[in-house]
Chain A
Amino acid sequence: MTDLLHDARVSRAQFFRLMGGLALATAATACSTRPETTATTGGGGTTTDLKFIGVSDQKAPMDKLAAAYAQAKPGVRVTPSYAPTDQVQTSLRTQLGAGNAPDLHVVYPGNGSAMSMSQIAKAGLLADLSAQPWTQTIPAGFKPAFQLDGKTYIYSAGSSVIGAVYNKKVFQQAGVDAPPTTWSEFLSVCDKLKKAGVVPIALGAQTPWVTQLITYALVPSTVYAKDPAFDDKQLAGQASFTGSGWQQAFEMYLELQKRGFFNDKPNGTTFEQQTSMVATGKAAMAVQVSAVLPDFRKAASSPDDLSMFPVPGADDAASVWIPAGVVVGLGVSAKGRNAEAAKAFVDFLGKQENINAWAKEIAAIPLTQDASSTIDPAVQSFLPFTKDRAVPFMDQRWPNAEVQPVHFAVVQELLAGDSTIAEALKKMDEAYRK
């Protein structure tokens, strides 16, 4: 800090010149970005301005596709703006509540969060997209994420997976040749890495959503591989977290901590610190969702060092299942003035080449694939699972928005040694029944 301040020292004259320049620059950009809501185009028609509010994860693909749409349809312009997830929860819900929602906005697949498809569609705020051709090809397993009562309310470009993002170079240096395929192999790889003097698994549990990822990576093997209908049974009240494979998943989570495979003090470590630990080789891997792979690559000096593999949650490689969730998508505001134009834009997004383009930007597996679909090499190893050994992210079928935050909190309590697994499962069951 002090060095930085020292180098940045400027004289008073320099400071005023700098400020003057800044003011000028601000004035100039303010003029150039003035919104032209009713600007006339060459043909004499008016421009329709579609407002989109999304989360930061959507910036890369949306910027690209909004620009492509401007080329294809000069009369319509999509103006996107982005915010961090928790701010979207506040500002967007307020706008939805007040009845002045943007034409297009971020929607989370399935149920289980306050901005999820089911919750917003139930309130009658999302336009029905079922008439669009791309909705006919939604894979059966993904339908609960896209549809409520048989109608499609959300567009999403595909799915992301949860697995271990790892630094290939660090693995090599520790003498690990190939990623592990069973739980015991996974433990011995961690052991090897630890002996080689690196942190085997970086965990940024201070950032709430990061806490859930290890459980999510394990539960497909410990719960759904044994009982694929677990969600239905749980909804019907015939199953609960207590007494299910969730117990085993938590035990495995804590075993990793007990064996010292995590960085010191994960509850005080953030997602950003976790990312940089793996990117710089201080840690060997991090259990993460593939959608943040670009973040890891950005932080690394040589992005090609980073890849992913499925976390094996079982001792038999054949019964390892993986979590594959539909990525955050968008919906059309049912009551917006431009609902028809907004639907037309979603229809455009549903074209195969645009699904491909969106998926590529976020290292996702495209919803439907053709010859031109590219799949990020880092997630190639997950493809054999996606057919019949993959389950959606657990929260997408939870009945309310409270279970997920309770999961965050109990994981932090478990890591802090402040709670027992039995207590944690009990709290999650209570939240599930609310």
Chain B
Amino acid sequence: MTPLTAWRARPARTARPRRSATTPPWLFAAPALAVYALVVLYPAISGVVYAFTDWSGIGQDMSFVGLANFRTLLGDEQAMGSIGNTLLLTLAVVAVQNGVGLLLALGVNARLKSRALLRVIFFAPVVVSPVMVAFLWKYIYNPDPEAGLNGLLGLHVDWLGDPSVALWSIAGMVVWQYAGYSMVIFLAGLEGVPKELHEAAMIDGAGTFQRFRYVTWPLLAPAVTINLMLSTIGGLKLFDQVFAATNGGPGYATETLSTVLYKQAFVFGKFGYSTAVALVLALFVAAVSLVQVYYLRGREVSA
């Protein structure tokens, strides 16, 4: 009740009348917050309890096991291996997706006649379901030397079947899907670069690269922050594409934290342990994003 009474009391505070006008009327958001709390926060937090149990996912048998699940995780060779895969995959996806996204954005931002069409084309894969993308790429990654990518490039690579290649093949299809997403955010950033600065730089004799390096790039920093953060979170949580394309295989070569927690819950029937893995993943994602935002925000400038 405190927020409500505070709100009622506000008109009485005549000493600072402007304050109430500028304070966000967050009470208006209360219904939405209540719904969010009910359908997102409550289940998420109540689920945490399972991380400390040995529940199988079905039936009534459940006992509290303290930190046993987390200790198991530390000794779980497969889960630990999957952390390595997840990090490598994330690193590859973040670097390439944003690099390609930036190039695409710079490209379609130029005065091309077809730029509206190109934007649509590059963005199109983003709206396709990740599982569909995985199925599509299974055909592209056909190991037959005369089919798919092999046929096109004259190669003989077992894209999804060779343990040393499979992880990078998955990174490739994720980049293909989401580079357009990064592009759109970079495009929004490019819109925010004032023309006058470019003109001034041109008058000072700056070339194309110099204008990019000293005018565009610093002003693009907020877009870089968002893009790096989103792609990092996406990479760490990667599931659909891996699951549909390789199911973690061959062997354990493409197992990610998300596929491990899925298998623990639904294949092995270890719901409690799976929740513990999920909790660790969530905390890990939160920690990485916070550090990233803190660091990247520091180097942002405004025009």
- Residues of A at the B interface (CB closer than 8 Å) are 86, 89-90, 93-94, 96-97, 113-114, 119-120, 122-125, 205-206, 208, 264-270, 400-402, 405, 408-410, 412-413, 415-416, 418-419
Asked if B159 is at the interface of the complex by the 8 Å CB criterion, the answer is: yes
- Mask for B137-180, Cβ within 8 A of A = 1, else 0? 01001111000000000000011111100000000000000000
Asked if B214 is at the interface of the complex by the 8 Å CB criterion, the answer is: no
- Residues of B at the A interface (CB closer than 8 Å) are 56-61, 138, 141-144, 158-163, 246-253, 263, 266-269, 271
A418 touches B163 (CB 8 A): yes
- Would A268 and B266 be within 8 Å (CB), given that A97-B57, A413-B251 are in contact? no
B251 touches A401 (CB 8 A): no
User: SS class of chain A's interface: helix, strand, loop or mixed?
Assistant: helix
Q: Give CA–CA (A86, B265) in the complex, Å.
A: 12
Q: Give CA–CA (A265, B266) in the complex, Å.
A: 29
From the candidates A122, A125, A269, A413, name the one contacting B143 in the complex (CB within 8 A): A269
A93 touches B252 (CB 8 A): no
- Would A267 and B267 be within 8 Å (CB), given that A208-B247, A419-B251 are in contact? no
**Which residue from chain A places its CB closest to the CB of B246 in the assembled complex?**
A206
Q: How far is the CB of B33 from chain A (nearest CB, A)?
A: 26
Q: How far is the CB of B265 from chain A (nearest CB, A)?
A: 8
From the candidates A120, A125, A206, A400, name the one contacting B161 in the complex (CB within 8 A): A206
14 A-B pairs besides A267-B158, A412-B249, A413-B163 with CB distance below 8 A are: A90-B266, A93-B58, A119-B56, A123-B58, A123-B61, A205-B250, A206-B250, A266-B161, A267-B249, A405-B268, A409-B252, A412-B163, A416-B162, A416-B250
Note all chain B residues with C-beta closer than 8 A to A90. Answer: 266
User: SS class of chain B's interface: helix, strand, loop or mixed?
Assistant: loop
A413 touches B269 (CB 8 A): no
* 10 pairs from A and B in contact (CB 8 Å cutoff): A89-B266, A96-B58, A114-B266, A123-B59, A206-B250, A267-B158, A268-B141, A401-B268, A409-B251, A418-B163
From the candidates A119, A125, A269, name the one contacting B269 in the complex (CB within 8 A): A119
Note all chain B residues with C-beta closer than 8 A to A264. Answer: 143-144
Q: Give CA–CA (A123, B247) in the complex, Å.
A: 28
**Which residue from chain B places its CB closest to the CB of A101 in the assembled complex?**
B58
A265 touches B250 (CB 8 A): no
Q: Give CA–CA (A409, B264) in the complex, Å.
A: 15
Q: Give CA–CA (A317, B263) in the complex, Å.
A: 40
- Would A409 and B58 be within 8 Å (CB), given that A97-B271, A268-B159, A416-B161 are in contact? no
B143 touches A268 (CB 8 A): yes
Closest 8 CB pairs of A and B: A123-B59, A268-B161, A267-B161, A268-B143, A413-B251, A412-B250, A265-B143, A265-B158
